[in-house]
A and B are shown apart, each in its own frame.
Chain A
Amino acid sequence: MNIFKMEVKKGIKSLLIWSIVCVALTILFMSMFPSMKNSGMQELVNTKMDALPPAILEAFNLKEMPDFTKLIEYFAYVFQYIVIAGCIYAGMLGAKSLIKEESEGTIEFLYAQPVSRTKIVTMKVLSSFVLFYIFIMIMSIASILISSIVKPEDLELIDLIIDLKMLFGGFFLVGLVFMAIGFLLSVLIKNLKLAMPLSTGIFFITYLLGIFSNMIDKLEFLKYFSPFHYAVPAELIKTGIDKANIGLSFVIIIICLVSTYIIYNKKDFNI
């Protein structure tokens, strides 16, 4: 548990920064909701949106125009940008975790202690999981509080919480997929400097693949290569999460983690 505690302690600062930024973004987005609801903004938005080509609407997950006067639909739409940020955070947590010790040479101290390589990976995975879980909880609580402030009187808080629960469940799952990919990346790369650009790059490349799959029918199969599109918030509140996507997420997580353990147990530490 000593490694786990140390890892959580080391990750707190970054967790706080990501949480503060994402909570601030949520507050900013949600503070616009009352004006969206009250001033005929929806009509204006619809008019503008109708003028855009369908492909562009698909790209921004506006295939079915959300009703921005409904709190949860509005929230689901703006929430996708929080999910993007959260997935990048999760990917970086994974990608930095193992290579950081090597690049900074601290693995020479850690691995001189009576601790196995498997245990090092397990503690890093668990601590990253816990940090991301805390991030999700902070975001959930903040979102509930902000939404309850701007919610219409006729909307029951409990209904809001149920919908948010589904959104955050999808967010957590997709984040874990990117975190697991990050772990695999962390045992493959030779330098910490590559962790951030590569994990972020992987997110955006897969995200673009998902967009292409929406825009071009022939490329629909590409959606399976975009974990972000396994749980798009706007779709989650309408159709719920697809069980096939849950299965696919778990398959990716398991393959990445098993590969991480195997490679880490066989690699020379580069110090």
Chain B
Amino acid sequence: MNIIEIKNLTKAYGKNRGIDNVNLTINEGEIFGFIGPNGAGKSTTIKTLLNIIFPTRGEAKIFGLDCVTETTKIKENIGYVPSEVRYYDDMTVREIIDYAKSFKKNIDEEYVDRLIKLFDVELSKKIFELSLGNKKKVSIIQALIHKPKLLILDEPTSGLDPLVQKHLFNELTALNKQGSTIFLSSHNLTEIEEFCHRVAIIKEGKILEIKKLDDFAHRTLKKVSITVNKDISKEIKALGGLIVGHEENTIIFNYDKDINELISLISKYIVSNLIIEERKLSEEFMTYYEMEEK
């Protein structure tokens, strides 16, 4: 079953870019990463899913329900952590959590107490007294209290210390095992790499790629830097290498084809330097951007 289905979703802000023709499908039980630089359209996509803004064209569905006309029904089963947490300043943490609880049905009080202890929030503190990280913790608690079927998290770890981040991902993993789907927007590529099943890369409002993270993990993608006595860039391209830098006799390229063919090619020339590295998701991610800029 598709939990989120986005078809040709476009949001235009006058002359400013929003999102353009976004298509995404997120399956039940999936942990889906959503990455892209600032202003790429991640938050615009999330705000459209939550009906905070209306789409210019296209449609989005969650649980098979329309995000515009059936948003109230959808939100019964959604937990949301915004990138920038803003609450009513003069309320206490307890009042915020109680207020969030008042909108939900069948709250497991023991689970809420456990979350409060786990994330170590001071219930009597007023919101304006809290640091960014502590506000984020309150936001995480209020998003999790009803064990939602879908969690939409926009930069959930920003401002959190490593221990709290670990607690968060343990909790998310537990919820995912119970069937919750997780939509995680983040700049932290390591957490995306370690945690998500699939990832979508968005830039300038457009989805560049949607990848299974298994592809990243198991693919033998290498970053090669070679200094050779002749310009062999054409031959490298012919083998399937993707040139990302070329300076005098040094060529830098990404390569995921048969390594023996590459060795066979370079053995014909005089090589003064050769570096072959495994590529990480973060580098892969950067490559998409470099490609676009070129």
Contacts and interface: CB of A to CB of B under 8 A. Distances in A.
Interface of A: 2, 6, 10, 104-109, 111-116, 266, 268-269, 271
Contacts of A2: 99, 102-103
Contacts of B87: 106, 109
A105 B86 contact: yes
A115 B103 CA distance: 8
Contacts, number: 56
B51 A104 contact: no
Contacts of A266: 54
Interface in B140-160: 142
A247 to B, nearest CB: 36
Contact of A268 (B52, B82, B88, B99): B52
B103 A111 contact: no
A218 to B, nearest CB: 44
Contact of A108 (B75, B82, B89, B99): B82
B259 interface: no
A1 to B, nearest CB: 9
Given A111-B51, A268-B53, 15 more contacts: A2-B103, A10-B88, A105-B86, A106-B88, A108-B52, A109-B82, A111-B52, A112-B75, A112-B78, A113-B75, A113-B100, A113-B103, A115-B75, A268-B52, A271-B52
A105 B135 CA distance: 14
Q: In this complex, which of A105, A106, A114, A116 has the most chain B Cβ atoms within 10 angstroms of its Cβ?
A: A114
A269 B82 CA distance: 14
B72 interface: yes
A109 B81 CA distance: 9
Contacts of B78: 112
A114 B88 contact: no
A10 B104 CA distance: 22
Contacts of A107: 52
Given A2-B102, A105-B84, A105-B86, A114 B75 contact: yes
B207 interface: no
Majority SS of interface residues in chain A?
A: loop
B54 A268 contact: yes
A114 B72 contact: yes
A106 B128 CA distance: 13
Given A114-B75, A115-B72, A116-B72, A106 B86 contact: yes
Interface of B: 47, 50-54, 71-73, 75-76, 78, 80, 82, 84, 86-90, 99-100, 102-104, 139, 142
B53 A112 contact: no
Contacts of B90: 10
Contacts of A6: 99
B57 to A, nearest CB: 15
A6 B139 CA distance: 18
A108 B54 contact: no
A269 B51 CA distance: 9
Contacts of A112: 50, 75, 78, 80, 82
Contacts of B82: 108-109, 112
A114 B99 contact: no
21 contacts: A2-B99, A6-B99, A10-B88, A10-B90, A104-B86, A104-B88, A108-B52, A108-B86, A109-B82, A109-B100, A109-B139, A112-B80, A112-B82, A113-B100, A113-B104, A114-B103, A116-B71, A116-B72, A268-B52, A269-B53, A271-B52
Contacts of B54: 266, 268
Contacts of B104: 113-114
A112 B54 CA distance: 15
A10 B91 CA distance: 9
Contacts of B47: 269, 271
Nearest to B84: A105
Contacts of B86: 104-106, 108-109
Contacts of B142: 109
B202 to A, nearest CB: 20
- What are the 4 tightest A-B residue pairs by CB atom distance, in nearest-first order? A105-B86, A113-B103, A2-B102, A268-B53
A211 to B, nearest CB: 40
Contacts of A271: 47, 52
B205 to A, nearest CB: 16
Contacts of A10: 88, 90
Contacts of B76: 114
B159 to A, nearest CB: 16
